[in-house]
């Protein structure tokens, strides 16, 4: 029997990643409704891949806008930015 867990275990995979990605993008674009934002806030509490995706998208966006220097640019993000701008 499993005891009660102190923290909610996060999901390791998202069953609605496509939807989540759309939501993330509209939030970052500033086009999300309050409802969407609220939903997403709750969702990333429990969904690890979406947290990662959010951070990645956010960094890409900020980098593309020239807002960030190098502080949040691990290779993964740099590669994603490259892909984004060479599309």
- Binding positions for Zn ion, rule: CB under 5 A: 14, 20, 47, 50
Nearest distance in Å: CB 43, Zn ion: 5
Q: Please report how many Cα atoms fall inside a 13 Å half-sphere around the Cα of residue 66, on the Cβ side.
A: 0
Nearest distance in Å: CB 17, Zn ion: 6
Query: Which tokens go with 5?
Result: 């867990």
Closer to Zn ion at the Cβ: 51 or 78?
Answer: 51
Closer to Zn ion at the Cβ: 52 or 82?
Answer: 52
Nearest distance in Å: CB 18, Zn ion: 10
Closer to Zn ion at the Cβ: 48 or 78?
Answer: 48
2, 29 Cβ separation under 8 angstroms: no
């Amino acid at each position: 029997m499993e005891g009660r867990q102190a923290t909610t275990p996060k999901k390791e995979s998202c069953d609605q990643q496509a939807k989540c990605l759309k939501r993330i993008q509209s939030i970052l674009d500033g086009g999300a409704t309050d409802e969407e934002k609220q939903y997403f806030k709750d969702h990333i509490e429990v969904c690890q891949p979406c947290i990662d995706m959010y951070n990645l998208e956010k960094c890409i966006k900020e980098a593309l806008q020239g807002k960030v220097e190098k502080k949040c640019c691990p290779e993964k993000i740099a590669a994603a930015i490259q892909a984004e701008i060479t599309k």
